[in-house]
Amino acid sequence: MKKLLYSAIIMSLVLASCSSDDEAGDIQQDIEVPTNYVFERGGETTVQYPGQTTRLQMSAELIGSFKDFDSATKESLLNMFAHVEGANDFDNSALNASGKNIKSKIAASVDYFSANVAESAEIKADFESYISRQVDEVFPNENTVATTGVAGQIADGSSARYVTGKGLELNQAFAKGMMGALLADQILNNYLSTAVLDEASNREDNENEVLDGDSNYTTMEHKWDEAYGYLYGDPSIPVADPNSVLGVSDDHLLFNYLGVVNSDDDFAGVAQNIFEAFKTGRAAIVAGDYELRDEQVTIIKEGVSTIIAVRAVHYLQAGKQALADNNMGAAFHDLSEGFGFMYSLRFTNNPNTGAPYVSPSELETFKTQLLEGNGFWDVTPETLDSISATIATAFDFTVEQAAN
């Protein structure tokens, strides 16, 4: 089934070039898709996304601090989340000097949240509650063995995992949840949105090479690169050739899981497809071919959404297996990751509908099912299977393909 999905993607690529050839050969001739993500004007690069890199770095440091039992406080963690320029919140002084922060971009896309501020506020509050509860519930039980209803540590092989009374690792819920709420939302529903790419006079400026202030890029080029930066912006990833470090970069967010999913034979090629789409779309912008650009948006929306869904199903199934083996520590770790990725599905974008692949209300039901009562301590294999099947079906892959 999934093979079909990818042949569909490849087909749409082929069709795209064919139709351009047939109907507008002259435009097609202008579009040169470079081997690497290298775009220049006057010999200088036009690709920049420092703001995205900054937020990825802020996220990494905040997530790491969830287990800083000795010195982190609720205040210090919340300050990292809602950093204000100049505040001494991070070890990395460049981050402290920045006027950017994580919170303002959580659930903040134009397409999904500009007219939906109530839900946006609830989602931001979810992430703040992960921070607060880590300090209020988990920190005091640092040296307690977790049992049903009691927060503390639990063994996962040679590691200790720190969980709430329901078995949830809040750092995992935060990290995997923000891959959707920050990264996917900004990439798919904001920067690749027509409302953003074509805002105001963007098309006209792009065609006339009206540059954005003192910068070397047009506004539309820059919006596209900002989408690129949320996926490929970790400092350990080379701008031009990100897949050269696929699977071996220091990134722990979407790019990392892109590599993980790509290494599964059932999904092999997804990393190359997404990268090709980013390059082709960017080249199309330079050439002013917005139809070709939007075809690439479709590929990226499907691809990035699929990464999240595959990992959600994968971890829910891994958790089910570990529960069956009575290995609660490993199970809770898997289920916590699965919970976070499932949370992230709210921010996926099915290009056929312009909405998440799984409806927000259904996802709410799933969250309740996973965490009701004693949470992961007594979640049933039937619940995990039924959630997994719903997600897989919505994406047209099978549970087995994601689980292995």
Partner 1 sequence: MKKKKMIKKALFSLSFILVLVACSSDDSTKPEEETNDSFDRQALLVNWADNIIVLSYAAFNTETNSLVTATTTFTENPTVGALQQLRETWIEAYLAFQHVSMFEIGKAEALNYRNRVNVYPTNASEIDGLIADGNYDFSLPSTIDAQGFPAMDYLINGLASSDEEIITFYTTNENAENYKAYLNTLAETISTLTETVLNDWNNGYRDTFVNNTSSSASGSVDKLANDYVFYYEKALRAGKVGIPAGVFSNDPLPEKVEAFYKEDISKILALEALEASQNFFEGKKFDGTSNGESFKTYLAYLNTIKNGENLGNLITAQFETSKSKLEGLNTNFSLQIENDNSKMLTAYNELQRNVILLKVDMLQAMDISVDYVDADGD
Separation of alpha carbons 383 and 75, rounded Å: 36
Of 167, 242, 329, 340, the one binding partner 1 (CB under 8 A) is 329
Rg over alpha carbons for the chain, rounded to the nearest Å, is 21
105: DSSP letter: G
Binding of partner 1 at residue 156 (CB under 8 A)? Answer: yes
Are 349 and 110 in contact, with CB atoms under 8 Å apart? no
Of 35, 93, 158, 368, the one binding partner 1 (CB under 8 A) is 158
Helices (H) and strands (E) in the chain, counts: 18, 4
Closer CB to partner 1, residue 157 or residue 354? 157
Q: Minimum CB separation from partner 1 for residue 197, in Å?
A: 34
Binding of partner 1 at residue 237 (CB under 8 A)? Answer: no
Are 376 and 166 in contact, with CB atoms under 8 Å apart? yes
Q: Minimum CB separation from partner 1 for residue 186, in Å?
A: 22
Binding of partner 1 at residue 143 (CB under 8 A)? Answer: yes
Separation of alpha carbons 275 and 268, rounded Å: 13
Q: Minimum CB separation from partner 1 for residue 153, in Å?
A: 5
Of 58, 182, 287, 318, the one binding partner 1 (CB under 8 A) is 318
Closer CB to partner 1, residue 204 or residue 382? 382
Binding of partner 1 at residue 298 (CB under 8 A)? Answer: no
Residues 6 or more apart whose CB falls under 8 angstroms from that of 240 comprise: 36, 37, 38
Q: Minimum CB separation from partner 1 for residue 41, in Å?
A: 37
Are 200 and 365 in contact, with CB atoms under 8 Å apart? no
Of 252, 351, 362, 396, the one binding partner 1 (CB under 8 A) is 252
Q: Which among 50-58, 75-83, 155-163, 271-279 is the span making contact with partner 1, rule CB under 8 A?
A: 155-163
Binding of partner 1 at residue 153 (CB under 8 A)? Answer: yes
Binding of partner 1 at residue 381 (CB under 8 A)? Answer: no
Tell me which H or E stretch contains 152: strand 152-156
Of 24, 160, 240, 245, the one binding partner 1 (CB under 8 A) is 160
Residues 6 or more apart whose CB falls under 8 angstroms from that of 31 comprise: 20, 280, 283, 284, 286, 287, 289, 292
Separation of alpha carbons 270 and 236, rounded Å: 21
Closer CB to partner 1, residue 161 or residue 293? 161
Provide long-range contacts, Cβ within 8 A and 24+ apart, for 238-245. 239/37, 239/47, 240/36, 240/37, 240/38, 241/36, 241/37, 242/37, 242/275, 243/271, 243/272, 243/275
Q: Minimum CB separation from partner 1 for residue 333, in Å?
A: 9
Separation of alpha carbons 134 and 145, rounded Å: 16
Q: Minimum CB separation from partner 1 for residue 332, in Å?
A: 12
Binding of partner 1 at residue 260 (CB under 8 A)? Answer: yes
**Interface with partner 1 (CB under 8 A):** 142-143, 145, 153-161, 252, 260, 318, 321, 325-327, 329, 385, 389, 392-393, 398-400, 404
